[in-house]
Structure 1
Amino acid sequence: MKIAIYGREFQNAVIQYVQALFDLLAAEDIEIWVYQPFNEFLADKIAWRKETHSFYSYTDLPGDTRFMLSLGGDGTMLAAVSIIGDSGIPVTGINFGRLGFLASINKDKIEHALAQLLSGNYDIEKRVLLATYKGNGPEPDARQLAFALNDITIIKKDSSAMITVHAYVNNELLNAYWADGLIIATPTGSTAYSLSCGGPIVMPGSGNFIITPISPHNLNVRPIVVSDSSTIRIEVESRSDSFLFSYDSTTETVNTGTAIHIRKADYAVNLIRLKQESFFSTIRHKLLWGLDTRNY
């Protein structure tokens, strides 16, 4: 069996868990493929029980790679998704971060979770991505598209004046938002930045996107849920000559006047969920729903 490992630099407190993971994989005689920069980071930090292989992109991986393991928090998981691209390789994450909506495997339960993964005792959830490109012309070729599993954010660059964000859905004006910015989130991303800005939690598979303003000047302006078959176009007015455009963990500076186009991607991410996990149990646990002394 072949599996891929993706990770980024971490604190020394995590090394014992990473060592335990690689020891378990070696004991099962798993062929291990490690993301090259992460492999270099680990070189003098863990004791290798088995030879590993390196990769930079999914094109370097064997065609029969069973799944990818992301080691870190949700940010690392989002980066792992960008590495997988449209390969269809299933992905799951061991949470070395904080909340861990996506990287849902607890670091103290690695052995149990790995046994389930290696035996195939899990489900695959297909998660929608956003496809986006910037420019005022027709849609470019696929090489110029960027993708986001969580959200795309338009936000002011300077710390003073707000911006005006013109949002169009299927070429019809939705609203001109006077705000610090605007978030377009998938159901997967509804528990991330959008939630902290007052957006709703939307169950994955619902077939929707969420459009959430960031600190709108008009308090009557609320988040709105639209069909994920919609195409969205964003145009920005600002006193500054640029604004910030982010998709998941990547941020770019874009000139004011440049349109941002957003739609559903042509492929989905295969997210692994262990049998005892579900979306509802995750939000109960992570958001502390029902945590009240009257329940005990």
Structure 2
Amino acid sequence: MSLIGFVYNSFVAEAPALIDSLIASLSLKDTSWVCSAEDLPGSDNLEDTKLVVVAGGDGTILKTIHVIAPYCIPIVAVNMGRVGFMSELRVEDAAERLPGYLNGDMRVERRMMLHATVTAEPGGPELLSAHALNDVVVGRGGVARLMNIATRVDGEPLTSYRSDAVVVSTATGSTGYALSAGAQIFFPQARVLIVQPVAAHTGLRDGLVLPDDSVVELEPVSRDPASLSVDGLADVDLAPGSVVKIVRSEHEALFLRSRPPAAFWGDLTSRLGLVYNLTPPRQ
């Protein structure tokens, strides 16, 4: 039996009630399961799931993608957060529009992900492995000062960034932390790796756009504490000499969309507050 999963943000008080109302209005009680984003890694229903409906913001979507991406399950999200870049539905029209997504009539949007691994030294055994939809960030730990981050691309030395951090982002992540650091915005289905320093002091300050088959290595060479962040969901301390290798993930994030790809640009301007009055003045 194919199931519909419902994942919600447990920190949004209205989310469980919304999920219950959607299941009741669509008569999905016997063919669905419900789980908070925090409890999703322990779910045993994913192999039989054909679609996941997410009620929350972009953080809830990221947590969900981390778990379901290996199962190639598409999602449709109801925005209950702030910006909602990846969301498709609003709370007020979710019940009316959701049947169209359940019936398989929508476009599947495939977005590239990243795979980050940590080793104690170049070429050493893996100590940590994680996948990201938005970005992988290597930056300073608890000390408020610049750090040096040696950066290699495909094994060749690029530069040693003297900065607060270095962000390696997907096109999806180009509207997140990378954007605040000065990176360009990319169409979300573009297959690129974006390398963007944060508050660079000297040396190379501009971001780079690399092919999706590139291998990026980041090595903090300062003696100060360093940390690794994957999609901004958790920080991991990096021991001195650690190397973070970032490549394209074998997984993809799948989103169901009702509108054509170009609708992204209208969403971009409205959700970033860049909408201007384009009505020509009266003569």
Which TM bucket (shorter chain)?
A: 0.7 to 0.9
Q: What is aligned with 2:58? A: 74
Q: How do residues 101-112 of structure 1 correspond to structure 2 at under 5 angstroms?
A: 101-112=85-96
1:11-34 Cα shifts (integer Å, max 9, x gaps) = 435555334323223x35551112
Please tell me whether the aligned partners of residues 146 and 163 of structure 2 are also in contact (alpha carbons under 8 angstroms).
Answer: yes
**Correspondence for 2:134 among 139, 143, 150:** 150
1:128, 1:28 → 2: CA distance? 31
Q: How do residues 1-296 of structure 1 correspond to structure 2 at under 5 angstroms?
A: 2-14=3-15, 16-25=17-26, 27-28=27-28, 31-35=31-35, 56-57=41-42, 60-61=44-45, 63-135=47-119, 136-138=121-123, 144-218=128-202, 221-240=205-224, 242-248=225-231, 249-275=233-259, 278-292=263-277
Match of 2:210, SS state, is strand
Please tell me whether the aligned partners of residues 187 and 208 of structure 1 are also in contact (alpha carbons under 8 angstroms).
Answer: yes
Indicate how the Cα distance of structure 1 residues 254 and 62 shifts in structure 2: closer, same or farther if over 3 A, else same: closer
Aligned length: 277
Please tell me whether the aligned partners of residues 9 and 15 of structure 2 are also in contact (alpha carbons under 8 angstroms).
Answer: no
2:201, 2:37 → 1: CA distance? 44
Gapped runs of 5+ residues in structure 1? 40-54
Aligned-residue offset at 1:233: 0.5
Indicate how the Cα distance of structure 1 residues 37 and 109 shifts in structure 2: closer, same or farther if over 3 A, else same: closer
Aligned-residue offset at 1:215: 0.8
Gapped runs of 5+ residues in structure 2? none
Indicate how the Cα distance of structure 1 residues 218 and 79 shifts in structure 2: closer, same or farther if over 3 A, else same: same
1:79, 1:160 → 2: CA distance? 28
Please tell me whether the aligned partners of residues 116 and 246 of structure 2 are also in contact (alpha carbons under 8 angstroms).
Answer: yes
Indicate how the Cα distance of structure 1 residues 57 and 124 shifts in structure 2: closer, same or farther if over 3 A, else same: farther
1:172-192 Cα shifts (integer Å, max 9, x gaps) = 122211100010000011111
Normalization by structure 2: what TM-score? 0.88
Identity of aligned residues (%): 24
Indicate how the Cα distance of structure 1 residues 226 and 272 shifts in structure 2: closer, same or farther if over 3 A, else same: same
Aligned-residue offset at 1:151: 0.2
Please tell me whether the aligned partners of residues 196 and 206 of structure 2 are also in contact (alpha carbons under 8 angstroms).
Answer: yes
Q: What is aligned with 1:48? A: none
Aligned-residue offset at 1:258: 0.4
Equivalent residue letter for 1:206:
A
Equivalent residue letter for 2:169:
A
Indicate how the Cα distance of structure 1 residues 219 and 105 shifts in structure 2: closer, same or farther if over 3 A, else same: farther
1:250-269 Cα shifts (integer Å, max 9, x gaps) = 21111121010110011212
2:198, 2:12 → 1: CA distance? 32
Match of 2:71, SS state, is coil
